[in-house]
Amino acid sequence: MSAEVITIILMTFIITLAHFCEVHGPSMIMCTQVVSSQDVPHDHYGSKISAGQLCESCQLSIPSNFTKEARVTGKQNSELTLRPSSPQTSKTSLSTGSESSKDMEQGADTSRIKLIEPSAIQTKSMTSDCIFISTQFPTSQARYSSLRHIIMRVFTIETSSDIDKPLLFGDRNTGYSMTLLFKLYDKTARGSERKYALIVTSDKEEEIFQNYSIILVNLTEIVKKISKRAVCNDERRARMDANSNEIYLRRSTNVPKPKGLAIIMDDAYFFVRLHLLFSLLLDQLK
């Protein structure tokens, strides 16, 4: 074999949002992968996890345009168009503002088009031909097994002296990861906090360490913004609850119950935004 032969190894990064569910333990909420332009994106969509299989804390909630959460206003609905792109695919487009979640209930109009609840979020890369796809679980069995193993390790084995500091670990069986944990205050959670982790995983040990600062800067910034917004939302809810006679001094208000991150963030499109944040990081890692 000639010494001049160059082995081209493509990078493989997966970014995962994991959660320590008080009911189900360590669980995977969303993972974002890079799909090359040569691959068929449909193969990575997976199937929608039906409601009831997962609790609200563990569920990846993707807003759909016929569900209650994703109903659009009359104005937005007027933009709803059906654009056949292929014999077997159909597209509808809409736009949403930052206040969309608050406007959802006003002038709601169920879509006249029968649509399937989406199981994936997709974005095109800004710098290349590849696309980024977020799903609840990866369709690849090998990746799913590795991610499950990694999430288990993050929440039950590894410890960190400072939650703001990243943790790097890996082996040749499951891949190599960099993790940043964060906690969100929620009085309806056990212990009044919900524990999450952002995990960047690669199957190449060298790549994780080579991109240490880029990953850390992005994860830190994402966690910082999420935590800040969660605190603002909690304070706003506390002010509202203080003026509400329905829940004032009621014991049921503090009973632990599952709650999704989208509700904590008070943004039905939170996971879409998180997908974009992960895509931004993947764009820098490619």
Partner 1 sequence: MLEDLFGIKAPSGGQNSTTKGIEPHPRNISHSPDHKFNVHSRCQTPSTSSHSSCCSSPGHSHVCRHATLPATISSLYSSDLGIPQPTFKVSDKMHCFRLVVLQDAGIRKKQTLFDSALGITGAAQNRPNSSMYQKLNKSLYHSMNELSTYMFGYYGILMSEAYGVTKMHYLPGLPSMPHSILVTRMFSLDSTFETTIPHNDHAASDWDPTPCENSADYPSNANNSTRFGIGFVIPAGNDFRSVEEEITDNWKEISHHIILVQKAIIKLLKKNYKPQTNRNHRTSKNAVYGYNSCPTVAAGNTLMTSRLSAFPPYFLQSNFELNHQFHSLVRCIQHLVDVPRLLIDLKESDQELIEWSSTVASWLELKDGSFTASDFPWPFEDRTSGLTSRSHLKFLASLIAVLLPERDSIFRTAASRKMKKSCRVVIVTGNPMVSEKLIFIIAGLLGYQRYIVHSKDMPTESTESIKAVRPSSGSSSSSSSISEETTHHIPVPSERKVGLPEPKTGLSVSFTHDKVMPISICSKASLSGISSESSTPSESSSVGSGIIIGKSFQPPSRVLPLISNSPTVNALSTVTAKRISIPRLRRESSYASLQNISSSYGGPHQSTYGSSSSWRSALNFGSFMEHWKLGGTKSRTTSVTSSPSRPEFPLGNDRTPSPMAEYNEFPWRSNVPGTPLSRTHTGNNSSSSSPHSSGLLFERPKFKGSSVFNKSLYPYDSRHKIHVPRTTTKLTGPSGRQLKFVRKSVSAILSDDLSLEYETVGDRLSVLIVNNPVPADPGASNADVISNKDAKLPPLVGYIDRYAPEFTLMSCPQTPNVNNSITESMYDDVYQMGHGSQSHTYVVNLRKER
Q: Report 207-246 residues binding partner 1 (CB under 8 A).
A: 207, 209-214, 216-218, 221-222, 225, 229
The stretch near partner 1 (CB under 8 A) out of 20-28, 135-143, 185-193, 241-249 is 135-143
From the CB of 27, what's the least distance to partner 1, in Å? 18
To the nearest whole angstrom, how small is the minimum distance from the Cβ of residue 188 to partner 1?
A: 23
Q: Pick between residue 99 and residue 246 the one whose CB is nearest to partner 1.
A: 99
Size of interface with partner 1, in residues (CB under 8 A): 99
Residue 75: half-sphere exposure toward Cβ, Cα within 13 Å: 7
- Contacting partner 1 within 251-270 (CB under 8 A): 269
Sign of CA dihedral 207, 208, 211, 212: negative
Cβ 182 to partner 1 shortest distance, Å: 14
Q: Which of residues 9 and 108 has its CB atom nearest to partner 1 in the complex?
A: 9
User: What is d(CA 244, CA 232) in angstroms, rounded to the nearest whole number?
Assistant: 19
Interface region with partner 1, contact rule CB under 8 A, candidates 57-65, 102-110, 188-196, 231-239: 57-65
The angle subtended at Cα 157 by Cα 218 and Cα 54, nearest 5°, is 75
Give the torsion sign (CA, 73, 123, 194, 184). negative
What minimum distance in Å lies between the beta carbon of 149 and partner 1? Answer: 8
C-beta closer to partner 1: residue 73 or 258: 73
Distance CA(35)–CA(43), nearest Å, equals 10
- Cα 177 from chain centre: 17
CB 233 to partner 1: min, Å: 12
Site for partner 1, residues 151 to 210, rule: CB under 8 A: 152-153, 156-162, 165-176, 203-207, 209-210
Binds partner 1 by CB under 8 A, chosen from 50, 88, 243, 252: 88
Sequence-distant (6+) residues with CB within 8 A of 180 are 164, 166, 167, 197, 198, 216, 219, 220, 223
Residue 7 near partner 1 by CB under 8 A: yes
237 burial type by CB count under 10 A (0-12 exposed, 13-18 middle, 19+ buried): middle
d(CA 117, CA 93): 15
Contact region with partner 1 (CB under 8 A), list: 50-58, 120-128, 192-200, 244-252 = 120-128
CA distance 81 to 93: 6
